[in-house]
Every structure is written in C-alpha cells, then in structure tokens.
Amino acid sequence: MLNNFRIVRNMTANLNFPITEAYLPDMMKYICVLAQEYESKKITSWELMENNVRTFFTASRLAEIEAIAQGWHDMATDINGITLIHVVAAFVSLLLCPEYQKMSKMQQELMKWIVFFHDLAKRIRKNQRDALHGFKSAAMTVKILHKLGFEVSFTYDDFIDDWIELVNSARIKRENPPGYIQDNSKLPEIIAGIEKLFGHNTPAVLITRTVLLHLSISVVQDWPADAPLTPLEIKKYIDIELLPLLKTMMIVDNDAWALFDQATKEKYRRETVEAFETMRPD
C-alpha cells in the first residue's frame, strides 16, 4: 500500500545529503500519484502509461529537469521517449517494491537518486542494447552529484576529468552481436577512483557504484548481462552496504519492463531475488 508515500520536503535536515523532492518536487509528486493509480488499477496498459507520462513531461518540464541533471533531456527524448517511460515505470515499481518499503529512510532516498540516474546515458540504436550505459551513466552522474550538493573529497577537482575519461574508455569491442561491452578489468581502478572523488561508501559513492554496476550481474534468463561479473568479482566489488541497493535496483529495473504482464513480473522478480541470495559479501 502507498499510505506512507507522501512528499516530505524537510528530510534534508535529517540526512547528510540532498533528496530528490528538494530538486524534483513536481516529478516526485507525479510519480507517487502514478504509483497509486497503477496500484489501484486505474492504469492497466502500456498505452495508458505512455500517454500519462508524455502528458506530464512537457518540453518545459524536461528543460527544468535538464537544468538540474545535464543529459536527462537527451535520455528522455531518445527514440520517442522509450527510456523516459522505462525510468518512470522503474520509479513506480520502486515505490511498490517490498525491499524498498523495508529500507531505512537513508536507503530509500539513495534509491530514488539511483533510479533517476541509472539510465542517464542510455541510447538505443537499431534495436540493440546499450551495453555500456551503466558505466556511461555513472560517468555523467558524478558531476551532477557534486552540482546538487553531495559532499566531495579534497581531490575531486584534480581527479574528476581523468576518472570520467577512464570510465568512458573502459570498453571492449565485441563481434557478435557487433558493438562494445564494458571492460570489467578496469573496475579496480574505477571503483578506487570513486572513493577518491567522494570518500568511502558515502551517499555519492553508493549512488555512483549502483549506477555503475546495474548491468553487471545476470539475474533474469531473458536478458543475460553482456559482461557479467565473475563470482570472485561480485565478492570483491559488492559489499554489504551496496548489496541491498543494487538488488533493489535490479528488481525494479526488470519489473519496469513487465508492469502489465504479471506472470513475467513474477518470473523476473523470482529470478533476481534468487540470484542475489547466492551473494555473500565480505
């Protein structure tokens, strides 16, 4: 139930990082109402969902969001808004997700930012998956987090450009299907760099790492990861603080593609939960 989902504007006083409602009040209120309408079965099809989303996200509203998060407009308008609709569906799924509802307030606020940023760099071309958009979205996210007021380290200004270049160059050419996939061999340097920018497991670190890795684990049979982490890499890069955030992100990411197909929703959720049950971070 959505009884506890209301826009709270003064939560920043209780947390040490900015919250989505402070920067995106209209959007977050809209998503809350949309989740209620979905839950009450007022919205029962993709056609209704898409019309609703396109009506809300006018050109002026997209411009307002772009002023806060550079790159969001390009994401939202790519291929007739397909990724925008997916991101909104992921937000709806998030508010209804049992894992999210059981989280602390801090984790819930982190999850909202994670969903907001997770597909920021995604671009779909010729019906091909964008296998690099986890890395690319993380590279875009770090500058926006600083702009929003998330705490950064004293080395941030000296290191940020080199880190972004590192992440954007961390790719391997693939022949079949043709394209590029993320180069996981660069992850030790990439993840160490995130800590140079923001510290150890600070809010900005957890947001960035979740966005970075949200394509890195195979959890559903229908959509295996293009460059999955090995079991040893999972143990190395996913710690106890990151695990619930990444798990919830991957649940709602898959759920958002099947909002109106209950059998597929249940299948994706079951497979994702089972995949994460095998993970035991140090």
187-230 pLDDT, tens per residue? 999 999 999 999 999 999 999 999 999 999 999 999 898 999 99
167-178 pLDDT, tens per residue? 999 999 988 877
Q: Which residues of 103-130 are buried (b: 16+ CB within 10 A; e: fewer)?
A: beebbbbbbbbbbbbbbbbbeeeeeeeb
Query: CA 92, CA 255: separation in Å to the nearest integer?
Result: 10
Domain ranges of the chain: 12-277
- Residue 208, exposed/middle/buried by CB under 10 A (0-12, 13-18, 19+)? buried
Kindly state the percentage of the chain with pLDDT values over 70. 94
Whole-number pLDDT of residue 6: 34
Which has the minimum average pLDDT: 14-23, 27-36, 100-109?
14-23
Whole-number pLDDT of residue 222: 92
Whole-number pLDDT of residue 176: 80
Its pTM stands at: 0.93
Q: How confident is the model at residue 127 (pLDDT cuts 50, 70, 90)?
A: low
53-74 pLDDT, tens per residue? 999 999 999 999 999 999 999 9
Contacting residues for 130 by C-beta, under 8 A, at least 6 apart: 121, 122, 123, 124
